[in-house]
Amino acid sequence: YHWPSPLIDQVEGLLYEGRGEGNPDNSLLDFVGKLAQCQSGSLGESGAAEWIRFAYHDAATHNADDGTGGLDNSLLLELDRDENVGVGMKHAKADFSHFPNKYLSFSDVTAVGLALASAQCQGPIVPIRAGRLDASVPGPFGVPRPEQTLEEHTESFRLQGFNPLDMISLTACGHSVGGVRSNDFPAMVPAIPGVSADNFILFDTTTALDNTVVLQYLNGTTKNALVVDKNATLISDFRIFNSDGNVTMNQLADPETFDQTCSRLFAQMIDTVPSTVTLTDVIDPIPNKVDGVQLSIGFDTLLLRASLRFINENDRRVVTILWADKNGGCTSGACSATPVSIRDVTTTLSSRLGLSVNKYDFAAPVNATTSISKFWFQIDEGDGSAPTTLDNDGTGYEIPQDRVLYVPNSSTMLTTIVAVRNDIPPSRVYMDVYARGPNLTTTVDFARATDIASRLGYDFYTYDYTGVDFTFDLHSVVNGTTYTEDIRDTYFATNTPDF
Ligand code: HEM
């Protein structure tokens, strides 16, 4: 791992760190807030269950014989099919769609969603890899339906890459959360007369992703509609669960076996990708991670924002950021700073791994004339050992340019403000907009922001973009050379602490 690694950085962040802003629901982009919905609603609907079903339905159209399909986001193009019926699908789509960008595919977000859903609902820890690619055309039909025969289901799981025993286990793992909705399967789940058209029969009596569904099936108390429905055609779970004489279900009655099996099969399911796709190694927590790097402009100085994240807590730890000016030295005489805040950003997943994730935030004043070329950190753990230097394996953390800078504190979700060096006037200032997806949505030119006075050798430019939730690259063209600020996010417009 070497910083920056945009894909790894983002997936690792989504998995192991929250936003730590006190009120996670403030943010459109907060996975943890959405995941409070392990169970939500009076009927027991579960956001986590919706995310897991979504992941399965996307992966389920893999064809192991020719290596096509799998977790590739083709599901978004297949949601009008009967086999993908359900309001839960639309919820999951809406939840995930705030996250993809030019580095992060929708299908990687879906995989992360499954891991977070499982962790949040006391289910197994699921190892995550990244690098999935999103399909641009729908895939074949093939998601299993309740009315199909055991033979059809066995063949369908074979094509997905699962043997008949895996089919039993994976179905039990999936059907340990959520349930069947009357709106989606009215033949199985009737509306509650006079009360609600929207009825919901849970697969088991706990909201946890645990083996209760197995135990209740084995002891005959199950209410799982796919086991006990009076229409024998629709009881696909019953046919699958007892297809080996209940040997597998009896094994899954042991909680540890259930957890290990579900971890393995969920991982296999989300790693089911077209044969042309190569996934990264499993993404483990990065011990000392730099992120949130943003050179911006304050009133008297430039401002270098950056965070250093640790996965263990230490009250005695002292962290200093140091930097070199444009010429590699420190002619301004002031090139170090201490943190402005220390935040706990532990997620359910990281806490279940025994980690205590905390961020040291810096907003370092950088002389606008001498500027900055790179930064690094000194860490004193306060335990008597010698302080250590963290410098990205010797290269330092580089700031590639200071010609075009995002100004998050002056920007809003609707108005993007950038600062552009004015010693040599740019011939063009523009941004490439990615509206939460891998593909370029549009390119727009900035206009001078006449209401913001120039300062520190920078002019200000503005653009009102009607899409409120997007990532973007900024560019300034100077003497034929294009300077670029890679992947900024409207998220920071309202969520950058005001130092
Ligand atoms: C033969 C195989 C399967 C059949 C026929 C099947 C069928 C169904 C049906 C009919 C529902 C109700 C959906 C609704 O009312 O909206 C459902 C829900 C669900 N299924 Fe499956 N399923 C199968 C396998 C799986 C697998 C392998 C997984 C995941 C590993 C999975 C995960 C889920 C989840 C999490 C829900 C609950 C969704 C919610 O509460 O919103 N299913 N399934």
ipTM value, please give it: 0.99
- 227 C-alpha vs ligand 1 centroid, how far in Å? 12
How far the first Cα of the chain sits from its last, in Å, is 31
Give bridge partners of residue 303 from the DSSP assignment.
296, 365
- 347 C-alpha vs ligand 1 centroid, how far in Å? 27
State residue 25's pLDDT score: 36
Domains and CATH numbers, the chain: 39-270 (1.10.520.10), 288-398 (2.60.40.2440), 404-495 (2.60.40.10)
- Distance between alpha carbon 34 and the CA centroid of its chain, in Å? 12
More confident residue, 435 or 221: 221
Nearest CA owner, ligand 1 atom 12:
180
Residue 111 has pLDDT above 90, yes or no: yes
Question: Is 118 touching ligand 1 by the criterion CB < 6 Å?
Answer: no
Lowest mean per-residue pLDDT among 12-26, 40-54, 103-117, 226-240: 12-26
Write the Ramachandran bin of 204: left for phi over 0, alpha for psi from -120 to 50, otherwise beta.
beta
Which amino acid is it at 16? Y
pTM: 0.95
Enter the tokens of residue 48. Answer: 């986590």
**89 CB contacts (<8 Å, ≥6 apart)?**
50, 53, 54, 57, 75, 79
Write the Ramachandran bin of 328: left for phi over 0, alpha for psi from -120 to 50, otherwise beta.
left
- 175 C-alpha vs ligand 1 centroid, how far in Å? 6
Question: Is 229 touching ligand 1 by the criterion CB < 6 Å?
Answer: no
State residue 27's pLDDT score: 43
DSSP state of 342: E
Lowest mean per-residue pLDDT among 94-98, 149-153, 222-226, 260-264: 94-98
pLDDT digits over 425-482, tens only? Answer: 999 999 999 988 888 999 999 999 999 999 999 999 999 877 667 889 999 999 999 9
Closest to 487 in 3D by CA, of 476, 472, 498: 472
Question: Is 493 touching ligand 1 by the criterion CB < 6 Å?
Answer: no
The rounded distance, in Å, linking the Cα atoms of 108 and 394 is 31
Say if residues 245 and 46 touch (Cβ distance below 8 Å).
no
Nearest CA owner, ligand 1 atom 20:
53
**228 CB contacts (<8 Å, ≥6 apart)?**
222, 235, 238
Closest to 310 in 3D by CA, of 364, 388, 372: 388
What is the per-residue DSSP string for 130-145? ------SS--------
Average pLDDT of 178-196? 86
The rounded distance, in Å, linking the Cα atoms of 168 and 237 is 8
Say if residues 358 and 310 touch (Cβ distance below 8 Å).
yes
Nearest CA owner, ligand 1 atom 25:
171
Residue 18 has pLDDT above 90, yes or no: no
Q: What are phi and psi of 457, to 5 degrees?
A: 80, 15
State residue 20's pLDDT score: 60
Q: Report percent pLDDT > 70 for the chain.
A: 93
Residue 196 has pLDDT above 90, yes or no: no
Residue to mutate, 149, 180, 233, 272, ligand 1, most ligand atoms under 8 Å from C-beta:
180
3-class SS of residue 472: strand
Q: How confident is the model at residue 491 (pLDDT cuts 50, 70, 90)?
A: low
The rounded distance, in Å, linking the Cα atoms of 146 and 127 is 29
Q: Which atom of ligand 1 is nearest to the CA of 179?
A: 40
Which amino acid is it at 176? S
pLDDT digits over 385-405, tens only? Answer: 999 999 999 999 999 999 999
Nearest CA owner, ligand 1 atom 23:
171
Pairing of strands 428-434, 415-421: unpaired
